[in-house]
Amino acid sequence: MQKTIAKYSPMWWAASVASLCLVFALSSCGATVTEDAAETSTETETVEVADAAAEAESSEETTAEVAPEAEAETVAAADLPTKDSITVSETYSDDTDGGHAILADGTTDDYANVAVEKTGESDGDEADFYGENASVFATNGATLTLSEIVVESDGTHANGVFSYGEGTTVNISDSYIETSGNCSGGLMTTGGGTMNASNLNIATSGNSSAAIRSDRGGGIVTVDGGSYVTSGTGSPVIYSTADITVNDSYLESTASQGIVVEGQNSVTLNDDTVVADNNTKNGDKSDYYQAVMIYQSMSGDADEGTASFEMNGGSLTNKNGDVFFVNNTVCTINLSGAEIVNEDADGVFLRAEAAGWGSEGSNGGQVDLNASGQVIDGDMVVDEVSNLNLYLTDSSAFTGAINPDGQAGEVYVELADDSTWTLTGDSYITSLTCDAGAIDTNGYTLYVNGEAYDGSSASTGTAVEHTASSGGMGEGGMEEPPGGEGGPGEGGEPPAKPE
């Protein structure tokens, strides 16, 4: 580690008071250039990355210009930290492969008004699971407090700020983080670590580089306020193999999903603004684009079990494809008073469907969707190996069709507390609970277990029972590295993270 006293020079990315204008360099992660290569990749959030075969043929970087259209009142831009707004008195730099500019190893440390510069390369599990090559790294029960810092990372597998291991806590506030290399998240939490973040401005431009990222062993992540923007392929704003809560923040992806939840983990959004434009793809594991993907990769990095996505208030704008896509897992989606808009007229609100993860015949999506005081506009599609329980309460209003092309997977719908459903096409479900008049068939036909229902009478039905996946993932959770925390495990290479 090199420590210098320096005046921080201007950077190619800056955020204005009124808006954010980002110019990012896109590059491919060598381990994820083809569908076959994806089978041996350990990158956590490489989900449906684009044209990788073509990327493999060229080492030249391409650039894309991104305008998040972040209004001042949405992201509190007047208070958003930028590189130029942070007073820097010291610079910590590291250019070694695998090294760190700042390391807290079992200690209690505080840094304020410093800049961090990181180059150097790493790959695989040591970086993704155990923190090798992270710009700022806390481990072995350390408590690291960071305030008004600037982090610039330009290296492969060079995460910005990393919390590893149970008992390790990172508290970071009023800071700016930019990563430009592939496989380099903004915030990274693994092994049961804790990450508390407040009013950050994070921009990532590499592939497989979520702004808020976790991997094997997960942890607890809490984010309050700030702006989090990604432009790389396979780089959602949030990739969760942890329990992640984000409050009052601006989240935007310009190439990937906005949010990905893997396995028995969760994302909770409270009063956030989410903009997702998933427009790039790799391979044939799925034919669809989406804003929120909930799945189980079978890689061993996330325990099997019920995944959770919750959104209270705020807004979600989807630019391309579907809003929700669930496959190869059981999940609960809780929506309460969120404004959800799908700008793609061909996309659906929810798609529960098998894809290229898990075992054929048992790899569908199994969903409990709970809507409270929620407006839902769009169709829902549930294939033959998937199922859905849709609960509408507290005057929720659903406008759309369910399986308009005919009966497929089991679907139960329950309407209560003056909630309504207005059909926009013929719909096929297996069971229904509602009061008379709660459903407006709107000139279409609702089939309940094969029988037409006209909405004039009450109905009582039974919910679908979900079944555990039989995908054969094996043991999930954290591999303990030799000699305690802080290094790679001895149990051999884990299964590859799929694209």
**Judgement on whether residues 175 and 54 belong to the same structural domain of the protein:** yes
In the predicted model, is pLDDT for residue 24 greater than 50? no
Decide the pairing of beta strands 136-139 and 169-173.
unpaired
Domain stops at, among 209, 235, 270: 209
Pair (31, 177) in one structural domain: yes
Q: What is the pLDDT of residue 299?
A: 78
Percent of the chain with pLDDT over 90: 72
Considering the domain boundaries, does residue 310 fall inside one?
yes
Whole-angstrom distance, CA of residue 12 vs CA of residue 6:
18
Q: Which of 108-112, 224-228, 286-290, 441-445 has the lowest mean pLDDT?
A: 286-290
At residue 75, the pLDDT reads 56
Is residue 196 a part of any domain in this protein?
yes
- From residue 98, alpha-carbon distances to 51, 69, 126, 185, 492 in Å are 29, 36, 9, 15, 20
Phi/psi-derived region of residue 363, left when phi > 0, alpha when psi is between -120 and 50, beta in every other case: alpha
Task: Tell whether 204 and 289 lie within a shared domain.
Answer: no
316 shares a domain with 194: no
Say if residue 37's pLDDT is above 90.
no
Q: Which spans in 331-439 are helix H?
A: none
Rounded to an integer, what distance in angstroms lies between the CA atom of residue 361 and that of residue 212? 33
The whole-number average pLDDT for the span 427-444 is 98
Minimum mean pLDDT among 111-120, 165-174, 213-222, 356-365: which range? 356-365
Q: Are residues 173 and 61 in the same domain?
A: yes
Statement to judge: residues 336 and 445 lie in one domain = yes
Quickly state the pLDDT bin for 184 (edges 50, 70, 90): very high
* pLDDT level of residue 101 (50, 70, 90 thresholds): very high
Write down which residue in 192, 209, 226 finishes a domain: 209
With contact defined as beta carbons under 8 Å apart, do 149 and 123 qualify? no
Considering the domain boundaries, does residue 149 fall inside one? yes
Q: Judge if 16 and 125 occupy the same domain.
A: yes
The reply to whether 229 falls in a domain is no
What pLDDT score does 7 carry? 31
**Do residue 308 and residue 398 come from a single domain?**
yes
Quote the distance between the C-alpha of residue 75 and its chain's center: 19
Same domain membership, residue 193 and residue 51: yes
In this structure, are 173 and 312 located in the same domain? no
Beta-sheet strand order (sheet of 451-453) = 427-429, 446-448, 451-453
Task: Quote the tokens at residue 416.
Answer: 């209560």
Residues 293 and 179 in one domain: no
Residue 1 pLDDT greater than 60, yes or no: no
Domain carrying residue 311: 284-468
Hey, how many other C-beta atoms are within 10 angstroms of the C-beta on 303? 17
Per the domain annotation, does 129 fall within a domain?
yes
Residue 124, classed as helix, strand or coil, is helix
Place of tokens 């998933």: 278
Q: Is the same domain home to 179 and 291?
A: no
- Choosing from 190, 209, 228, the residue where a domain stops is 209
> Does the pLDDT value for residue 444 go beyond 90?
yes
In a domain, 442, yes or no: yes
d(CA 99, CA 366) in angstroms, rounded, equals 43
- What's the number of domains the chain is made of? 2
| pTM, 2 dp | 0.83
**pLDDT above 80: residue 55:** no
- CA 131/CA 184 separation, integer angstroms: 11
For residue 198, is it within any domain? yes
Are the beta carbons of 436 and 456 closer than 8 angstroms?
yes
- Provide the 8-state DSSP code for 495: P
Q: Is 269 part of any domain? A: no
